[in-house]
Amino acid sequence: MRASNTTRKLTLGAMFAALAYLVMCVIHIRIVAAAPFLTYDPKDVILAICGFTLGPIPALTTAAVVAFLELITVSTSGPIGFVMNLLSSAAFLLPPAILYARKRTLRGAALGLTLGVACEVASMLLWNYFITPLYTGTPRAAVAAMLLPVFLPFNLIKGALNAAITMLVYKPVSRGLRRAGLLAERAAEPNITRARSLCATLIAAAVLAACIAAALILGK
């Protein structure tokens, strides 16, 4: 049974890594017109689902694999870009993966994703200030001037988009994986009602719509 579980986890990890890499290669959306070098891709949605499904350590390992594949195939920012990609993904996916592993409830997932967005926004302001000048050649004073008008809205919209999409698709994805025999059956969350589930879905959809509207405005 242990070998079977290990094989299943390795299979899922490889599947999540391949899917995250694929969407990273295919989808690139400009969010802030003033910074065309900042583009959104939904790979962190896949990584967050990996964190919910397999736990924080496998999710972090998968994020590192995806960042490395990006480094050796499509990235133009070299090892520093690899570090930035991994830091960004880790800041977003680790809080929900850790919290959900301890409290596998709808509230745990929502709170974890909210913390993930906050951690990503805060950490990327810090890392952009210190690291961006190293690989772009932009003076640190110029990067500092971009933190609030450029990096803050970009990372806030990016994180909120990823959180909202994750909330909308995680349950259907997990049900599909269970039906395929790739994920063990788990007891349903006690005390959850259809009304609570619908409310969470509507909130996630509203956040998604707000993020799309903000991206359209800032992208002009």
pLDDT tens per residue, the chain (220 residues)?
444 677 888 889 999 999 999 999 999 898 888 888 889 999 999 999 999 999 999 999 999 999 999 999 998 888 998 999 999 999 999 999 999 999 888 899 999 999 999 999 999 999 999 998 888 788 999 999 999 999 999 999 999 999 999 999 998 998 898 888 777 766 555 555 677 788 889 999 999 999 999 988 887 7
Q: Whole-prediction pTM value?
A: 0.92
Yes or no: say if 183 and 173 are a contact pair by the CB < 8 Å rule: no
Asked if residues 123 and 4 have their Cβ atoms less than 8 Å apart, the reply is no
Distances (CA, A) of 129 to 118, 124, 139, 143, 157: 17, 8, 10, 6, 19
Q: What share of the chain is helix, strand, coil (3-state, %, to 5)?
A: 80, 0, 20
Question: What gap in Å lies between CA 122 and CA 132, rounded to an integer?
Answer: 15
Token code pair at residue 9 = 């986890």
Say how far apart CA 42 and CA 159 lie, in whole Å: 10
Place of tokens 């999409």: 165
Contact between residue 200 and residue 106 where contact means Cβ atoms under 8 Å apart: yes
Give pLDDT, residue 138: 84
Domains of the chain, CATH where assigned: 2-185+197-218 (1.10.1760.20)
Q: Which amino acid, one-letter code, is at 168?
A: L
